Structure 1
């Protein structure tokens, strides 16, 4: 089963009322932990990479790690480039075999965003890949992309025209969600998801998922968020588990890197498993 197109995963999730976890990984350790959680739960999975990670690890190294980890697994996994405003990076990743990309031209006027997204969709089709579109910046900076200023939300008419004109496979709307850590429970415009799915017929992508309540997740998934992004939760699990283990190592004066790696792997795997359970994707592979 292994590598799978994004569109098939999210279309099926939309039709059956669950969400595919789309988790941003940062290295081979986090990648293997997330995939292990999906295999154990029998869940489809979207592995996401930020532009920052692509540049830090290297495109070819990152793709080779993905192929090595995902190749033998029995669940469908897609490789997605998250929030990329750089057309050159999009072209590079599509050429290397990414299954989908989010062309984030939300900083541009809608008409110019739409014009360029049409081009990206055409380019992706040549590789058998899919495209996620966005016209409103999601509040918060993630891996160097974005802004802390809340973007103006476009009308349903504008959003629908963008989807229909560009032919994107998934749409990422702003509904009061934000990247990073929520300091209080956000007030979300859930009805906007219902309206967009009804008007466009395509799955919505929920960004800024880390930190939402179970009830918020399940309400939005029921309305059509068939792809739910998780990034901050992975970073927190990774870094806190690392800190915890290093403090224990210092106290015992025992320094064993493989035990640190196992500790981080277990924490990230648990985090992924918790979200798979909430999203209802377990057993859907």
Structure 2
């Protein structure tokens, strides 16, 4: 296995190798993809402690993804850090180091969450590719029916998407599973439709099963999830991988909601362009979101 020199390629290789890794190496893989700055700046001992593994496991992990040693792999993470356009995350880390007990006051909590959100949004632009956005918007705009599914922490993302897309006069259905009727509702998801799903660690089994079944049926699946190790990726026609640090006790929805809003607004623009084009297919006119 030849070593690779770019972070994007390394992410894909880790995702491919992940199912065959030991539990220790899988723990390192999750840590590396959720907190790449740690891999760029930390020592073997410090990273191993944060990932709760033995230092020797770090060497084995580097070998498992094609590198002769940890330092060789670390250079890829360092290159990614240098290329990043935003330093928000580093600023947040430094602020946390300086925190005192006063940081627990409500005003300080709000400030901390606001700073965390700024960091998430800075990373969001780096994680999302224009080609994926374009493909997803085209699928949504042309689908006869759009079905939206998420559970637990991700449910607000589904709620927003269902509301906002319906405001564009698209036939949108929120699969909320009320009354234990989720399985019956999924029968209405047909080939040619679009299924929009959102799920993050620990993933909702019902969402994973629905995405897989829809994909096998020929339905386009657009997934909002937390990285290349997500089990949703295998079923997705378009997969948006967000940096979602699972080590945090309270994880934010700022980034996925911002992405959801971008999908809705971009779909509105596309529908408006189609309506003004003489050969555009007949779709309901997009109306302003309230």
Report the TM-score, using the length of structure 2 for normalisation. Answer: 0.29
Decide which structure has the larger Cα Rg and report it: 2
Write 1 or 2 for the structure with the bigger share of helix. 2
Report the TM-score, using the length of structure 1 for normalisation. Answer: 0.29
Write 1 or 2 for the structure with the bigger share of strand. 1
RCO greater where, 1 or 2, for CA within 8 Å and sep 6 or more? Answer: 1
